Amino acid sequence: MVKSLPLIKIKAQGNHHALFLMLLAVILFIITLTISQGYWRQFQLVITFLYLAELVLFITGLAKYLQPRYSLCLNPIGIKYQHSYGQWQLDWQQIQRISLMNETLGLTQIRLPYIGIRLIELSTLANTISPRLANRLIHEQRPLLALAIKLKFLTLEQSQINFSPFLLPSGEVLKGPLAAFMHHTSVLHKALGYHLFIPETALDRELNEFCSLLNQCKRSSEKYN
């Protein structure tokens, strides 16, 4: 019988309180509906506003609920990042470095709310990331490009989305969202030194603690080779 590998599942902060928000919205809606039966004419605008607020509250909870149950899954073989738009997955041996991201702005050192991952070869990412997620991350990571421009690591022209074909070392030519994401990733690597960025909102603990966990998993993976 094959023994299953140990698995660490990480639940994103964004998933917290989803059911509570939806339940609260339903309860408030029932209360508002009951009150409006006798006071609709006098407080029409106020009651309408309450209905809209309750709808927003419910949609927020629903959006949280529809997120993947776990944002990250770690095992001795590799790491999988799960997003509502798709996923990427890498073996530990394909990763060169995992680190906190600290940058200096003027005389102040700032810590970015991400964990950076540098790959040994960028081409390994092309085969593991879904096109929908690739397209989504280009937009989610615009703040990183903006910071790189502010730090003068990039020019405004370099930060623009590039839809031209991307040539992999294997000779394969990528087009569409994957090509744009590979160009985007190459630009961020040149500016900030990393290919992938795990946002703090995807974690269930402090950045320091999670970064240590990832590095520990990477070191421990050597025992399974």
DSSP string, the chain: -PPPPP-EEE--GGGTTHHHHHHHHHHHHHHHHHHHHHHTTTTHHHHHHHHHHHHHHHHHHHHHHTS-S-SEEE-SSEEEEEETTEEEEEEGGGEEEEEEEEEEETTEEEEEEEEEEEES-THHHHTTS-HHHHHHHHHHTHHHHHHHHHTTSS-TTTTS---S-EE-TTS-EE-HHHHHHHHHHHHHHHHHS-SEEEEGGG-SS-HHHHHHHHHHHHHHGGGG-
Model pLDDT, residue 1:
33
**pLDDT score recorded for residue 84:** 86
Per-residue pLDDT tens listing for the chain (225 residues): 335 567 888 887 766 677 788 888 898 889 888 888 888 778 888 888 988 998 998 887 777 777 778 899 999 999 999 998 999 999 999 999 999 998 766 667 788 999 999 999 988 898 889 899 999 999 999 999 999 998 889 888 888 999 999 998 888 899 999 999 999 999 999 999 999 999 998 998 899 999 999 999 999 887 765
